[in-house]
Amino acid sequence: MYDMKEDPIERLDREQRERTEKKKSLKSTVTVMTIIAVVLALALAYIWFQKSKLVRELEQEKDELTEQIITLKGDYDSLSSDYEAINSQLDSSREEVAQLVERIQKTDATNRTKMRQYEKELGTLRSIMRNYIVQIDSLNTLNQKLSKDAADARREAADARRENQELSAQVETLTGQVTAGSILKARMVRLEAYNSSDKVTDRSSRVVRMLTSLSLVENEIAPRGPVRIYVVVKDPDGNVLTNARSEKVECAGQTITASASREVDYEGKEVDLSIYLNDIPSYTKGIYTAEVYTVQALLGTAEVLLR
C-alpha cells in the first residue's frame, strides 16, 4: 500500500513511470521473442532446404543407378549363343537382373545401405556378363576352327582318292596327307554341370556331376572300329578332377590323367557321345575346363562357369 502521506501528484508521476517502464520491458521481451522466432524460422528453413537438397541428390543417384541396371538388362537380353549350357546360364542371369530392377524401383532413394548393395550387385552382374562374352567368343572361334578342320579333312580325303587314281607316281607324297586326314576330329565340344535332379545348373554348391558331350565328325579315311575317348576336367585352379576310375594314359604324345573315358564304335560316320564325370566330392566357383583326347590327338576343349 502506498504511503497515505504521499503527495497525490508524486504518486501519479510514480505510477506513470512504472507503467512506462513496464511497457518498455514488454516491448523488449516481444522484440527478443520476435528475433528468436525469426532465427528459429531461418534455421528450420535451412534444415529443410538441406534435407530437400540431399533427397534430390539421392533421387538422382537412384535414377542413374536404375538407368545403368536397365541398360545392363538390355545388354543381357541382346546376348545370345548357340550353346545350350551358356543359354541356360544366361537365362538365370537375366532373371537376376530383372529382379534387381524391380527391387531398386521399390526401394526409397534415402535407403543408402540398399543403394550401395545394388551397386555391388550391378558390378557382379557386369563381371559375369564379361565372362559370358569371353566364353561365347572362345567357343565360336573353336567351333569355326573345328568346322574348318572337318571340311579340310573331307577335302583331303577326296583329293587323296582322286590323286591315287590319277597319279600313281605321287603315292608316297599322298601317304602323309592321308595319315594326317585319318586322325579323328570332333566338333560341338561342350561341358555342362548337372544337379541331383539331372538338370543343368551353374550353382557350384548344387553340382553332382559333369557332362562332356561332343560329335566325332565324319571321316571316310579314319580307321574303323572301337575308339576310346578320354576327358580331362580341370577345376578353376588347374587341378585335374579324379575319382576311382581315373587313369593315366598316353595321348597326343604326352602322359595325361584322364578324369573319365568312354569307348565308342566308329565306322567313319558322325557319332554323338557324352561322357559323365561322377563321384567328385565338391565343386568351387570359377571356370572349369574340359580337354578331350584320343590317343592320337587333342579333339577339343570346352569351359563352364560355376557361381
For residue 45, the surrounding DSSP H or E stretch is helix 8-78
Cβ atoms of 268 and 219 within 8 Å: the answer is: yes
Distance from C-alpha of 65 to C-alpha of 197, rounded to nearest angstrom: 37
Helices (H), 79-111: 84-106
| Residue 241 confidence (pLDDT) | 96
| Residue 184 confidence (pLDDT) | 87
Number of H helices, E strands in the chain: 4, 9
Domains and CATH numbers, the chain: 12-137 (no CATH), 186-306 (2.60.40.2560)
C-alpha grid cell for residue 72? 545392363
| Residue 156 confidence (pLDDT) | 80
Cβ atoms of 174 and 156 within 8 Å: the answer is: no
| Residue 122 confidence (pLDDT) | 76
| Residue 270 confidence (pLDDT) | 92
| Residue 109 confidence (pLDDT) | 65
| Residue 179 confidence (pLDDT) | 54
Nearest to 287 by CA among 95, 177, 135: 135
Q: Mean pLDDT by 10-residue block, N- to C-terminus, for the chain (307 residues)?
A: 61 76 76 76 62 62 78 77 74 80 75 80 80 76 76 78 68 50 86 96 96 92 91 96 94 93 92 95 96 93 96
